[in-house]
A and B are shown apart, each in its own frame.
Chain A
Amino acid sequence: MKITFPHMGNVYIAGKAFMEELGQEVIPPPRCSNRTLELGTKYSPEMMCLPFKINIGNYIESIEKGADTILLTGSCGPCRFGYYSVLEKNILLDLGYDVDVIVFDPIGEGVGKLKDSVSKALNVRKTKDIIRAGKLGWPLIRKTDELTQFANEKRAYAIDSNDVDIVMEDYYQNIENTYGAAELLNLIDETHEKLEAIKIDKNKDPIKIGIIGEIYTIVEPFVNLEVEKKLGHMGVYVEKSLTPTLWVEQHISKFPFGSKEVNEMFKLAKPYLRTLVGGHTRETVGSAISYSLKGFDGVIQILPLNCMPEIVAKSILPTVQKDYNIPIMTLVVDEMTGEAGYLTRLEAFVDLLKKRREGKKVGKLLFGC
């Protein structure tokens, strides 16, 4: 059994090491590229959302490298993601690929079913073993997330932000050569040290922007046209509202109570949206408010074209913008997105935030408040 899974930001890094520790053979898909998107667009329904298309591209590229089993998480919320596994399997079968698809449905849908899938995919029998494996994988996810965020922070403060890219590019290239958790953790520590060594300007007071939206779009750099990198090079400090770490907390490690941060988002979003409408609508609305409370200068929502839950959030955000007095910009991405226009919007937004900050300072001087 040669396992593969779709890309979602840096999850593949932890996922690969985790499964290697369990003695499974893993073939992570090649990093998302234009070819991935081309393949995905060709074999997906046209009106399907962008993450689906990238998934299909990932599978095909992994199968070409020899993978025969696909792992995927499921969902039962009112969002198309719930049907991803079924539809994707059928598309692959139609294309003549003989692959096995193992779906991890949410715990809420029955522990037994989930346990079966996990035992099958991870080659473990007892619940005890599954928990042991989980304890091994969990720090990997946290560590990779922390490293990505550390790179974002460095980019905002660095004297030459290109240095950060060189270190990170090296890191991504080297991941392919590591095997298992120990080697990976080693690589992460080394990269962290290298980032640490990059010279920074301590006097910088960077503009702070929160990236909000549905998790896949904000954590997968290929899909969001590397928004973290682009903003980082403009000297902006970037934070993402959702990360794989938060996802695991919410759905697995803290189940059924949920992650503290996500619960906070729900609470903040409540005056605007009381119930689940699918996807990450409540998280998006709530995190916009939470960034405003944390003193961020602005918020950018990124949504894949025709994503229903995010469209609902988009229609609520102008009210949040008014109530909390924080600029919010929405960017829509799909396979047609032009990079030039995207960059123009980002630049203009950063300009707007800078001017706003200057204006606030002047106001303080004038009115002493």
Chain B
Amino acid sequence: MENYYLGVDVGSVSTNVILIDEDNNLISKRYLRTQGKPIDILKEGIKNLKDEMGEFNVCGVGVTGSGRYLANLILGADIVKNEITCHGVASLSYLPNVRTVIEIGGQDSKIIILRDGIIVDFAMNTVCAAGTGSFLDRQAFRLGIDISQFGKLALKSTNSIRIAGRCAVFAESDMIHKQQLGHNQKDIIRGLCEALVRNYLNNVGKGKEIVGPVMFQGGVAANEGIKVAFEEALNTEIFIPPNFDVMGAIGAAMLAKEEVKKKGETTFKGLGIADMDYKVKGFECDGCSNLCEVIEINEDNRILARYGDRCGKWTNSLKKSNAKLA
């Protein structure tokens, strides 16, 4: 049986499940929509892998993304890492001399600055989601075109129009205004791509030294219009890795591989988790005025974890009872 490493990225918009081999080659990838049901989608992803690959050994598991703690509980990961480190690690494996990574995902966008193979600086969008995948998704919907066609249409435009991209709400009203003026659709789309890039560089990239080689990854990298707009704005070539949409998961798997080499064996619970029954229960703790929403996850009628409490009353209660059982 082959030895593979599993990487899982549970994000706001997509959940990515991938397998890499000992040499970091991508063996299989699943790009699924999270749809607000991370546990079900995660199980589905694992099941898909099982169906596709037959029997195989999982030697290590890495999880990342905003749902990484949840994924860790369910999978028993060897390493739980934030998205920035994972994206940095993965991009270095594709382009060892990369110095800037632009990553635009569903709800956040990042810039990672690397020098000599080390992350030296990074930034994420702070208080505004204008310029992320879900914003584009919404505008594509409003224009009545499929998001996969969005970039291609932008490239057809010869005349760009300027759309205010400072804020998602204003961008939308400005876009409607431009439609009412009679501008054609492809020019508006190109304008939107440029607005997004401008917003990214002004917000996330502000004060950062962006020098090539520049790599562009995350779901939005599928959009050629944005890529071209970045190239024009930065006046440099932009590299898009072949698996741009699952780079976070690849990074997590690579880190898991390292971790397992260090500690000897994996803590992965096995592919059987796809058939386990998970129940999530939420309740409001009335111990103090914080009224924390405590979440309890059950795996086949056994309490797996409790979290969400500020004071640690519920989180710690479980640790103690576990210790007693052991």
Contact = CB atoms under 8 A, between A and B. Distances in A.
Interface string A31-74: 10111100000000000000000000000010000000000000
Given A34-B290, A305-B127, A341 B66 contact: yes
Contacts of B84: 344-345, 348, 351
Interface residues of A, number: 32
A326 to B, nearest CB: 11
A341 B108 CA distance: 9
A345 B119 contact: no
Contact of B289 (A30, A166, A348): A30
Contact of B312 (A162, A340, A344): A162
Nearest to A306: B127
Contacts of A99: none
Contacts of A369: none
Contacts of A166: 312, 316
B126 interface: yes
Nearest to B116: A359
Interface in B123-146: 124, 126-127
B85 A33 contact: no
Given A332-B127, A355-B119, A356-B118, A344 B83 contact: yes
Size range of the chain B interface in the assembly: 20 to 34
A19 B30 CA distance: 63
Contact of B119 (A35, A341, A352): A352
A341 B319 CA distance: 26
B53 interface: no
Contacts of B122: 348-349, 352
Contacts of B83: 344, 348
Interface in A143-189: 162, 165-166, 169
A341 B12 CA distance: 11
Contacts of B289: 30-31, 33, 35-36, 61
Per DSSP, are chain A's interface residues mostly helix, strand or loop, or mixed?
Answer: helix
A351 B119 contact: yes
A359 B83 CA distance: 21
Contacts of B85: 347-348, 351-352
A318 interface: yes
A351 B82 contact: yes
B316 A344 contact: no
Contact of A318 (B82, B127, B207, B311): B207
A340 B311 contact: no
Contact of B288 (A31, A318, A343, A352): A31
A295 B21 CA distance: 41
Given A318-B207, A327-B121, 19 more contacts: A30-B289, A34-B290, A34-B291, A61-B289, A165-B312, A166-B312, A166-B316, A332-B127, A340-B66, A341-B124, A344-B83, A345-B82, A345-B84, A347-B81, A347-B82, A348-B83, A348-B84, A351-B119, A352-B119
